[in-house]
Amino acid sequence: MNAIDWKNLPFGYLKTNYNVRCYFRDGKWGELEVSSSEKIDIHIAATCLHYGQEAFEGLKAYMGKDGKVRLFRWRENAKRMRRSAQGVLMAEVPDELFFEAIKKVIGLNKEFVPPYGSGASLYLRPLLIGTGPQVGVKAATEYMFMIFVSPVGPYFKEGFKPVDMMICRTADRAAPLGTGHIKVGGNYAASLVSLKMGHDRGFASVIYLDAKEKKYIDECGPANFFGIKDNTYITPASPSILPSITNMSLIQLAIDLGLKAERRPIDIAELPTFEEAGACGTAAVISPIRKIVDEKTEEVYEYTKDGEPGPISVKLYNRLNAIQTGDEKDEHGWVDLLEI
């Protein structure tokens, strides 16, 4: 293995040693298999290719200063993947198989877990796809579940530094009764054009509004939005938002810090009232927002005066990171130590 510059890793794919796979056939899951191949053999009529029967997850493993590998809230990822499977009519992955696959793939790739203090982590990508052939629009009878891993740095190249975002009014990420609340690839495909538009204009990401009224904040591209004011952590409530496990954790940590927490609709008219704003998710962790520009009105909402993250965002980020790496006590039972 070539030497890895752990402190300057991008958020991207880096080849590792092995991935793990399991197949659902004849109404049941088989045994977990290990592969060194980066390819999958798939039927030309597989439902994942034609009808979008696909779901994925993202979670991270961290190296502590004690040399032990820590996994953050994997049960919530397993639960969310089951909801995604239900949403597009796929076979559900049991918790036992999900965790067995996690332990196996990390153990096989332990040398790729970034060292403590590097600011990087091992990203795990569980994937569930319909592999059975169908030409008519119907669910497959066969599925593949796999997990591959890659060491990663921060999702936004700025890391924990404030970024600029644009309110997108010319595209919808998901409809209220669609698939926005589950983690399926179609939601991300629907965001590619508008995200590129935002990037081309110099923004780190775009903020989507609700599809019905174009009045309420939904998502920050691939992350959840939060705003802070009056000692309160506020994040949107919407049937088309993916429930972020990081956001769920930050809500609890905000309460632990003595803040109030609210999950409710956020009218864009409220944007000028926030003292801090940010995007959060497994990949991004927390990305503080420096300013938001409205694509239509060109109004600008600024959240930093000195270009640095706000004090509450800093406290939340540091506390979450310290729990994930084992530097602070895990009072909520979120972290599993892995014997690998």
- The domain segmentation of the chain, as residue ranges, is 6-152, 163-325
pLDDT (tens digit per residue) in 270-313: 999 999 999 999 988 999 999 999 998 899 999 987 889 999 99
The three-state DSSP-derived secondary structure of the chain is: CCCCCHHHCCCCCCCCCCEEEEEEECCEECCCEEECCCCCCCCCCEHHHHCCCEEECCEEEEECCCCCEEEECHHHHHHHHHHHHHHCCCCCCCHHHHHHHHHHHHHHCHHHCCCCCCCCEEEEEEEEEECCECCCCCCCCCEEEEEEEEEECCCCCCCCCCEEEEEECCCCCCCCCCCCCCCCHHHHHCCHHHHHHHHHCCCCEEEEECCCCCCEEEEECCEEEEEEECCEEEECCCCCCCCCHHHHHHHHHHHHCCCEEEECCCEHHHHHHCCEEEEEECCCEEEEEEEEEECCCCCEEECCCCCCCCHHHHHHHHHHHHHHHCCCCCCCCCEEEECC
Spell out the CATH class of 163-325: alpha beta
In words, the CATH class of domain 6-152 is alpha beta
pLDDT category at 120 given cuts 50, 70, 90 is: very high
Task: Kindly report, residue by residue over 62-88, the tens digit of the pLDDT.
Answer: 999 999 999 999 999 999 999 999 999
Return the active site residues: 183
Q: Tell me, what's the pLDDT at 159?
A: 73
